[in-house]
Structures are given as structure tokens and as C-alpha cells.
């Protein structure tokens, strides 16, 4: 009854009988794989704002961030985003549903939703502060959702949104790349064989760039098949040595982190607007460790001092972040439909095998994406 009251003012469609519960994998506390719990009684999503949609999930993608969030990564930052006024008790995020990619069908639309209708096939990357896709239904803002590529199955489509919107945010919004300014650019992708890398290689290659990647020796043919022009094996010795012998780069996307920034910026063309964009940043760890205000101050001071130091040497230093965007997914859909980008599904698990899917992602050495078939 409560659900019906909350539902009706914002929702266009009330033809289905109201549901209050759904099947989902949830966690009730942070920890290792044993905190994952299957329930048939997870709360059914409710449209609270007129621009929201409920999506029936057909397939969900898993990423390293799901494993990290299962262990409490980003808990402080994400709690602030979920509850900015800090009204709720600590732990109010539980039961928490993980899973950042969804491919599915629109089940219900808020009153202001113009671009989607019930039954539309859609895909989306779900912000980490929202309930995820390891459930029968998920609630999203319409601006986070896009019509899925017609040529892909739901399993294939679920391999793309989170890594694609991350790569898009890093390469386009932060790195300044566009489809019409990549020809003749030399791009280095550190860590080419995982989810983000396999997408980024295809995207910049489709835009005409010359692409160099680093990866393990056994991923070389795989990455050449995705379009990499030059592949450097990081397991053969210090990877900076073979990379230093190459012509310098216009942009580096770092998916690896660690000590890479101690040598990678020297590989950029100085005084030409060249950029290093890293996706491995201490932002969430700082806020988890120091609290939101001090953690953000620490992050701002770190990135500003590094950016200034490298600017004096003629190159740009930037942090890249995932950014949910239905508009970016619209452009990516067109690239997929034009066969410029293909999904890279490494392994598929059934809904009952979610703990095994987490184990797979946790082991590392990804070659593309792990996907869970929900229905
Ligand atoms: P994956 O786990 O899918 O891929 C990581 C890949 O890197 C694996 O294929 C691994 O294969 C390879 N690898 C490991 N070490 C090295 C190395 N030294 N040099 C080259 N390749 C290496 O991760 P994702 O692609 O999903 O994410 C990449 C990084 O980006 C992660 O650190 C993730 O946390 C971060 N990220 C950050 C976001 C943000 O908002 N800032 C958003 C999304 C991701 P192998 O070990 O076999 O070589």
C-alpha cells in the first residue's frame, strides 16, 4: 500500500500489480565473498522522481569496483552521496546490491520521461552510490540510460557500459579526444587487456589514432585483434625501457597505477598539450581514511601539486573518473552498430553463480569482462 502511494504520483504506468519484493544478491556488511547473500525479498525499486525509470535486468556486468565495494571501498564517499545531510544511521546502505552494468528492458517510466517507453531495450552504467544490477530490477535516472545496440545480445551489451563510460570520461572529457582530432595522434594504453583497456583500444583505434598497449605476453594476439598497432609485454622486464625507445605519445591512459607515474609522463611529447590520464587515483581511499572533508582536501592538494609539477615540464597530469552518461552510451551504441567496437565477454555466469563470478573477477588477469545472466 505504501509502495502504491509513493509510486503513483510520478509513474506513467500502473498496469502491473504493485510488487514490493524481488530476487537479488545483496550484502548486509562489508567483507569477503561470504557476505554475498541471495534473497527473494529485496526491496522492489520505487520511482521517487519523475525522470526515473525502472529497468528489468537481463544481464549484469561485474567489475573490479564491485569486488572493492563488497569490501567497503568508497563507503564514506558513497554514503555522503546517498545521504548528503547525514540524516540516516551508519549502515543504512544495507542491504546493498552490487553490479554496475545493466542490459535490460524498461518496465516503468516516471512522468517526465520522454525518450523511453515501457518495453524499450536499454543499457546503462549504474553510479556506485545507487543500488546495482545483481537484481531482477534496477532504478535509474533516464539520463543515465540509453537504447542498447540492436546487434548485441543482453549478455554482450552488459559487457560495455561501465568500462565504456569510464574510458569515455577519461579520454574524451578529461583527455580532450574526439572522433575528429585523433588521426595521427599516438596513444599509449597502460593495461590494455582488462575491461577498460579492451574498450579504450577499440575506441581510439576507430577514431584513427595509432595505439600502443602494455599487457602480459599471452594477451598480445588478443589485443592486436582488437586493433592495437604496437604491443609491449610488461612481464618481460621494466616496461619503461622498450616504451622509452618509441616515438613520444600525445596521450597516455593509465589503467595500472602503482609506480607508473614515476616514469610514464616522460613518454609524452612536451609542450604540445600532451596528457597523462590515470584511472588509478587515491580519491576514494583518502575519503575513506580521512573522512569526506579532509579526504577531498588531501586529494585536491595531491592532484594540484602533481599537475603543477608536470606542467612545468610541459605535460598535463590528470585524474580520470567513471561518469554515468546516457549521451555517451548513445554515441558508443552507434560505434557498436557500425561494427567499430565489439563487446569482449570473457566469461558468463548464471544468476545462481554470482559468488563464482566475484571469485573470477577477484583473481584478476581479466581478458575483457565478466557478465552475469539475470533472466
Ligand atoms: P580489469 O581487472 O578488467 O583489468 C586489469 C588488466 O590489467 C588485466 O587484464 C591485467 O591482466 C592487466 N595488468 C595487470 N597489471 C598490469 C601491468 N603492470 N601492466 C599492464 N597490464 C597489467 O580492470 P579494469 O579494466 O576494469 O580497470 C582498470 C583500472 O581502472 C582498475 O585499477 C580500476 O580500479 C580502475 N578504474 C577506475 C575508475 C575510476 O572511476 N577512477 C573506473 C573504472 C576502473 P594481467 O594481470 O594478466 O596482465
**Pairing of the two strands 137-141 and 101-109:** unpaired
Q: Is 236 in the pocket of ligand 1 (CB under 6 A)?
A: no
State residue 292's pLDDT score: 87
Does pTM surpass 0.90?
yes
* pLDDT tens digit sequence for 278-319: 999 999 999 999 988 999 999 999 999 999 999 999 999 999
Mean pLDDT of 88-100: 93
Ligand 1, atom 42: closest residue by C-alpha: 322
Q: Which residue has the cell 545480445?
A: 153
From 220, 232, 256, the mutation candidate for ligand 1 (largest count of ligand atoms within 8 A of CB) is 256
State residue 202's pLDDT score: 98
194 or 90, higher pLDDT: 194
From 99, 159, 190, 196, the mutation candidate for ligand 1 (largest count of ligand atoms within 8 A of CB) is 196
Q: What is the Å distance from ligand 1's center to 109 Cα?
A: 35
Q: Is 194 in the pocket of ligand 1 (CB under 6 A)?
A: yes
* pLDDT tens digit sequence for 179-226: 999 998 999 999 999 999 999 999 999 999 999 999 999 999 999 999
Q: Is 129 in the pocket of ligand 1 (CB under 6 A)?
A: no
* pLDDT tens digit sequence for 46-76: 999 999 999 999 999 999 999 999 999 999 8
DSSP SS3 for 348: strand
Alpha-carbon distance 348 to 298, whole Å?
A: 40
Q: What is the DSSP string of 58-90?
A: EEEEE-HHHHHHHTTTTHHHHHHHH-TT--SPT
* pLDDT tens digit sequence for 2-18: 344 344 456 655 556 67
Amino acid at each position: 500500500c505504501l509502495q502504491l502511494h509513493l509510486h503513483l504520483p510520478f509513474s506513467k504506468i500502473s498496469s502491473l500489480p504493485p510488487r514490493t519484493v524481488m530476487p537479488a544478491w545483496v550484502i548486509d556488511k562489508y567483507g569477503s565473498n561470504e557476505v554475498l547473500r541471495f534473497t527473494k525479498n529485496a526491496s522492489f525499486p520505487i520511482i521517487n522522481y519523475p525522470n526515473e525509470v525502472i529497468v528489468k535486468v537481463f544481464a549484469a556486468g561485474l567489475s573490479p569496483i564491485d569486488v572493492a565495494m563488497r569490501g567497503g571501498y568508497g563507503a564514506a564517499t558513497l554514503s555522503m552521496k546517498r545521504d548528503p545531510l547525514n540524516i540516516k544511521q551508519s549502515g543504512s546502505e544495507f542491504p546493498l546490491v552490487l553490479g554496475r552494468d545493466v542490459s535490460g528492458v524498461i518496465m516503468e517510466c516516471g512522468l517526465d520521461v520522454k525518450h523511453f517507453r515501457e518495453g524499450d531495450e536499454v543499457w546503462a552504467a549504474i553510479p556506485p552510490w545507487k543500488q546495482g544490477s545483481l537484481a531482477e530490477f534496477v532504478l535509474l535516472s533516464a539520463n543515465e540510460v540509453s537504447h542498447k545496440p540492436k546487434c548485441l545480445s543482453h549478455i554482450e551489451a552488459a559487457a560495455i557500459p561501465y568500462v565504456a563510460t569510464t574510458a569515455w570520461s577519461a579520454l574524451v572529457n578529461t583527455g580532450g579526444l574526439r572522433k575528429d582530432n585523433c588521426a595521427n595522434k599516438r596513444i599509449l594504453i597502460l593495461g590494455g587487456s582488462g575491461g577498460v583497456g579492451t574498450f579504450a583500444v577499440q575506441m581510439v583505434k576507430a577514431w584513427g589514432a595509432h595505439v600502443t598497449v602494455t599487457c602480459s605476453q599471452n594477451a598480445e594476439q588478443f589485443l592486436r585483434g582488437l586493433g592495437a598497432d604496437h604491443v609491449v609485454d610488461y612481464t618481460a622486464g621494466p616496461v619503461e625501457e622498450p616504451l622509452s625507445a618509441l616515438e613520444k605519445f600525445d596521450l597516455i591512459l593509465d589503467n595500472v597505477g602503482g609506480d607508473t607515474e614515476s616514469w610514464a609522463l616522460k613518454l609524452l611529447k612536451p609542450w604540445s598539450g600532451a596528457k597523462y590520464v590515470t584511472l588509478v587515483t587515491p580519491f576514494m581511499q583518502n575519503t575513506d581514511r580521512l573522512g569526506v572533508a579532509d579526504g577531498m582536501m588531501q586529494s585536491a592538494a595531491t592532484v594540484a601539486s602533481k599537475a603543477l609539477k608536470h606542467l612545468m615540464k610541459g605535460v598535463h597530469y590528470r585524474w580520470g573518473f567513471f561518469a554515468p552518461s546516457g549521451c555517451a552510451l548513445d554515441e558508443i551504441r552507434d560505434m557498436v552498430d557500425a561494427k567499430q567496437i565489439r563487446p569482449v565477454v570473457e566469461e558468463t555466469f548464471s544468476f545462481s553463480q554470482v559468488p563464482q563470478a566475484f571469485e573470477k573477477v577477484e583473481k584478476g588477469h581479466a581478458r575483457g569482462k565478466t557478465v552475469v545472466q539475470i533472466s
